Structure 1
Amino acid sequence: MKSTLRKVQFAFLAGILALTGSATLLTKSASADSIRQLNATQLVADMGAGWNLGNTLEANANGIPSETAWGNPVVTQAFVDRVKAAGFTTIRIPVSYLGNIGSAPNYTINAAWLNRIQEIVDYAYGRGLYVLINMHGDGYKTIAGSWLICDSSNQTTIRDKYQKVWQQIATRFQSYSERLILESMNEEFDGQYGNPTQPCYSNINAYNQIFVDTVRRTGGNNTSRWLLVPGWNTNIDYTVGNYGFVLPTDQYRSSSVPANEQRLMISVHYYDPWDFAGEENGTITQWGPAATNPARKSTWGQQDFMDAQLKKMRDTFVARGYPVFVGEYGSVDKTSADSTNNRYRADYARTLVSTAKKYGAATAYWDNGYNGAYGFGLFNRGSATVTQQGIIDAIMSAVGGGNPTTPPTTTPPTSTPPTTTPPTTPPPSGGRSCTATYTLTGQWQGGFQAEVRVTAGGSAISGWTVTWTFANGQQVTQAWNATVTSSGATVTARNVSYNGALGAGGSATFGFLGSGGANGAPTLSCAAG
């Protein structure tokens, strides 16, 4: 799963009707927009430069989706217009459903939520942009209320719910033209980094097939629109390699589509090398042939690697008529550690977009709305202004002339059951307190992965610090969603800028990779700021 700076869930769903502006059902006219039958090459060229409205409609508070829950403002037409003015012609809108899905047997999506999704789609679609919407987060085990779990034993119920939710979404948008693209899911896998497992991958394939069949059978323009499907965790190697990915059949598509053309796209994400693109420290800040300091440049994941990865997608899918969509790529802001960092972020984006274009793929930059240390933001959403013109210029030059965020894959973890500590209960400080719970999520020879959840007590807190001492000399080698330092066996983890403020009972999660074995859960101490 991409991490990647998923801001902490600290706001509760409030004022849905205020967000939608009205409880009135938003529907398009009964007559469908005309649809152009674009082939794969035409589609990729037409989509141009893509951008993600990240951490918004996939944000949630305690499993209830809310577009402001992770700190971003309400989306406005003015802001979408600013994104278009910057040169972007495709907007990907990640969407979670979670607790806005009703009970069996109908699994009805909350009407206000579906209305709001459509309203934001129309902000972009109405301006002539391509728009992608998906199911994003309903399969994350780390999200409260997640249910699209590929290694669950309850697959009959999951598939029934999945089919009925997509039937409602597809029916709502069946009259939209080819500029509306539906994506089956996002970064779906079992949560364990390493080689894919069966039957989990088989269930992912089944979800993709249900998605394609369901959308097509709703009729209208859905019978011929482009549909986007991912492999395991949108990972290139696990999608092109012999790991179990199966393309869905498309038996219900319109007969108006030429027999020698496809209407399915393949979704992947690109954040390599992770130590440059996503790791939240100031060590690796440069990328590419223009790098001036070898100590600040990763030892892998440079231009030759990027080219080889995207060429795999061309050879496996594009050559057969299936276009590829790099639905997320980008790199975090490390200018606080290296003032030249934005130069290399722009080089990275330019090279990714131009290489993707060379190999028949469209792209969408991952923007989580956060500007500052370790943020992906290109815009200030509150003021509808550009914050990273250099990166935008690099993207546009590549499109005209010519990227969990997941921790890196390491040795596959074993099936060792997770180890969890009881939460800490430190004394309150000025009425403020927090607790922390440690979970060992994976372990292999010489290494391990762990997660810590920090929860505020009965009062809101403005920051947190978690400390512990490893009993057997283990060392943290990489961390995300926290600033982690070590002194001997003692580890200190502090919140980063976007996840320190927690409402009463709110929580944040950070994770890390470590070296060493014999990993009993340590005793944690949590101090609130």
Structure 2
Amino acid sequence: MRKAGPALLAAVLAFGGAAYGMTRPASADVVAQLSGPQLVADMGAGWNLGNTLEANNNGIPSETAWGNPAVTQAFIDRVRAAGFKTIRIPVSYLGHIGSGPGYTVNAAWLTRIKEVVDYAYSRGLYVLINMHGDGYKSVTGSWLICDAADQTTIKDKYQKVWQQIASKFQTYNEHLIFESMNENFDGQYGNPTQPCYSNINAYNQIFVDTVRRTGGTNASRWLLVPGWNTNIDHTVGSGFVLPTDQNRSSSVPANEQRIMISVHYYDPWDFAGQEDGTITQWGAGATDPAKKSVWGQEDFLDGQMKKVYDKFVTRGYPVFVGEYGSIDKTTYDSTNNRYRADYARAVVATAKKYGAATAYWDNGWNGQHGFALFDRSTGAVTQPGIINAIMSAVGGSQPSSPPTSPPTTPPTTTSPPANPGTGTCRVASTVSAWNTGLTTIITITNTGTTAVNGWTLGFTLAAGQTIVSGWSAGYSPASGAVTATDAGYNGVLAPGGSTTIGYQANHTGNAAAPTGFRLNGATCS
């Protein structure tokens, strides 16, 4: 997605705020060998820092060019505190690339990209960076054009730019993911054309080969590649060719992949992105048929996600829905935000059902036709209903396989009771360990008959383990007898309800799972 909606006021307002959670070094030389399903589960809810590092002024990238303020650590902390565990950071290079044959990327621009990456990476979040606007014909200075004449020069430039990016982040661990490009296609919204699609496939192969050959963690990190315009039908259909991964590290198990597939989801467009007031409602809960699209409802969404599951997930290639969302049409229909939340909940829940991670598209614009969930200047949440819908959809336990008969109604949430409950509990934990580090994912289930409204989970770490970062809860202290406290959005556990939290820890040889779980003081099974 490119710039959408009115431009924000060009103001940079600094704001304070405590750092959330514990930090870790910006460089890490250990890599968790997460399988595809483990990665998707660990990525949790994702969010896009849109219209920022991909913004440009006459072909020169600048993060404030489209009206959003400069990114700060405090703002990223606010996004993390809202429950997001993955941040996709679109990046353009354009006029910051020097002339051939070296095609040197401006050092200050690479440094700024690194600073913004570190805001999220240092907090234990997953971070995705890509080459975003360089392939748009509508952008001044674009050059990654699949139907341009001189493909030899384009491919040489592409290889050398990605070599510099990959080298810059060579030591970062598995929480950093590279994405080869964004919505690359010939600019015509029709069927793919050849040899344009062949060139897109070639770009993806150059990307994988180049990143792998820079060595270090790049030899085993997860890499994300799109098909034609990140379109689901044109990616699962003929034309898309998976890149080979012959240069990856021998440490990766032979039966596992390290390549992800990128798709975007904005269907039906008349609800999600069309800037008029005709279609403002979506889903089974719509109350006015005249305001609801005649296509693109829950059954269509389920079918699209099943396509990528059947084509890629079943073969070990995780899918990342790198953009989804719907614009604000409350000026036309005051109930619109309800349906925007329903839409977000359904996309996230259905993607999760079919083994895909997701990232909401946020362009920083609040108001008519905007996608924003936060005020970029103050960090305030502006769409709590949509965020709550996302978190409720991603927070439950993952089924072992997609059901054969998809539901006909969207997921629902249970309203919390007025007072806390005191039911019993069940806790399951999974540990993925490597060298001197580990990742632990904990699922808490309320097995009682009364809702729990606000919780703390006590447990004991094995000797020699120290938590270095955590998500979906606050953790204190970092070792020994630890208490995890709910993050607010996941504080209510209805009877039978569950939530998933997790942390990364260092260890001195003992990677055992935590023990002695107690929810609000009650021992859990």
> TM-score, normalised on structure 2?
0.72
User: Matches of 1:387 and 1:29 in 2, distance apart?
Assistant: 32
User: Matches of 1:239 and 1:215 in 2, distance apart?
Assistant: 22
1:112 is paired with a residue whose SS is: helix
Q: Tell me, yes or no, if structure 1 residue 368 matches structure 2 residue 363.
A: yes
Change (3 A) 1:30 1:117: closer
Q: Tell me, yes or no, if structure 1 residue 113 matches structure 2 residue 109.
A: yes
Aligned to 2:342: 347
| Contact 2:2/2:133, CA 8 A, preserved across alignment | no
Matches within 5 A, 1:58-137: 58-137=54-133
Matches within 5 A, 1:305-384: 305-384=300-379
| Contact 1:36/1:178, CA 8 A, preserved across alignment | yes
User: Matches of 1:398 and 1:34 in 2, distance apart?
Assistant: 31
Aligned to 1:282: 277
User: Matches of 2:267 and 2:130 in 1, distance apart?
Assistant: 23
Which one-letter code corresponds to 2:358 in the other structure? T
Aligned to 1:226: 222
Alignment partner for residue 167 of structure 2, among 171, 185, 189? Answer: 171
CA-based RMSD of the aligned residues comes to 1.9
1:138 is paired with a residue whose SS is: helix
1:386 is paired with a residue whose SS is: coil
What is the Cα deviation at residue 84 of structure 1?
A: 0.1
Aligned to 2:141: 145
1:248 is paired with a residue whose SS is: coil
User: Matches of 2:26 and 2:4 in 1, distance apart?
Assistant: 41
1:380 is paired with a residue whose SS is: coil
Aligned to 2:201: 205
| Contact 2:49/2:87, CA 8 A, preserved across alignment | yes
| Contact 1:91/1:364, CA 8 A, preserved across alignment | yes
| Contact 1:4/1:278, CA 8 A, preserved across alignment | no
Change (3 A) 1:3 1:223: closer
User: Matches of 1:31 and 1:92 in 2, distance apart?
Assistant: 19
Aligned to 1:526: none
Change (3 A) 1:223 1:270: same
2:134 is paired with a residue whose SS is: coil
2:133 is paired with a residue whose SS is: coil
| Contact 1:183/1:227, CA 8 A, preserved across alignment | yes
| Contact 2:36/2:257, CA 8 A, preserved across alignment | yes
2:323 is paired with a residue whose SS is: strand
Q: Tell me, yes or no, if structure 1 residue 160 matches structure 2 residue 156.
A: yes
Which one-letter code corresponds to 1:317 in the other structure? F
Which one-letter code corresponds to 1:290 in the other structure? G
User: Matches of 1:231 and 1:107 in 2, distance apart?
Assistant: 26
Change (3 A) 1:52 1:332: same
Q: Tell me, yes or no, if structure 1 residue 397 matches structure 2 residue 385.
A: no
Q: Tell me, yes or no, if structure 1 residue 303 matches structure 2 residue 303.
A: no
| Contact 1:7/1:55, CA 8 A, preserved across alignment | no
User: Matches of 1:147 and 1:8 in 2, distance apart?
Assistant: 25
User: Matches of 1:339 and 1:30 in 2, distance apart?
Assistant: 44
> TM-score, normalised on structure 1?
0.71
Q: Tell me, yes or no, if structure 1 residue 269 matches structure 2 residue 264.
A: yes
Change (3 A) 1:226 1:277: same
Change (3 A) 1:328 1:295: same
| Contact 2:25/2:122, CA 8 A, preserved across alignment | no
What is the Cα deviation at residue 32 of structure 1?
A: 4.0
Matches within 5 A, 1:420-439: none
Which one-letter code corresponds to 1:211 in the other structure? F
Aligned to 1:54: 50
What is the Cα deviation at residue 3 of structure 1?
A: 5.1
Count matched residues. Answer: 387
Which one-letter code corresponds to 1:374 in the other structure? H
User: Matches of 1:10 and 1:292 in 2, distance apart?
Assistant: 36
State the percentage of identical aligned residues.
78
Which one-letter code corresponds to 1:64 in the other structure? I
Unaligned runs of 5+ in 1: 16-27, 403-529
1:149 is paired with a residue whose SS is: coil
User: Matches of 1:359 and 1:350 in 2, distance apart?
Assistant: 14
| Contact 2:282/2:342, CA 8 A, preserved across alignment | yes
| Contact 2:3/2:51, CA 8 A, preserved across alignment | no
Change (3 A) 1:345 1:216: same
Aligned to 2:244: 249
2:149 is paired with a residue whose SS is: coil
Which digits, 9 at most, give the CA deviation of each residue in 1:56-101, with x for residues without a partner? 0000000000000000001000000000000000000000000000
What is the Cα deviation at residue 34 of structure 1?
A: 1.2
Change (3 A) 1:308 1:219: same
Aligned to 1:238: 234
What is the Cα deviation at residue 10 of structure 1?
A: 11
What is the Cα deviation at residue 8 of structure 1?
A: 6.2
Change (3 A) 1:54 1:312: same
User: Matches of 1:130 and 1:347 in 2, distance apart?
Assistant: 25
What is the Cα deviation at residue 7 of structure 1?
A: 5.7
User: Matches of 2:25 and 2:283 in 1, distance apart?
Assistant: 50
Runs of 4+ off more than 2 Å:
6-11, 28-33
What is the Cα deviation at residue 122 of structure 1?
A: 0.1
| Contact 1:379/1:385, CA 8 A, preserved across alignment | yes
Which digits, 9 at most, give the CA deviation of each residue in 1:139-163, with x for residues without a partner? 0000000000000010000000000
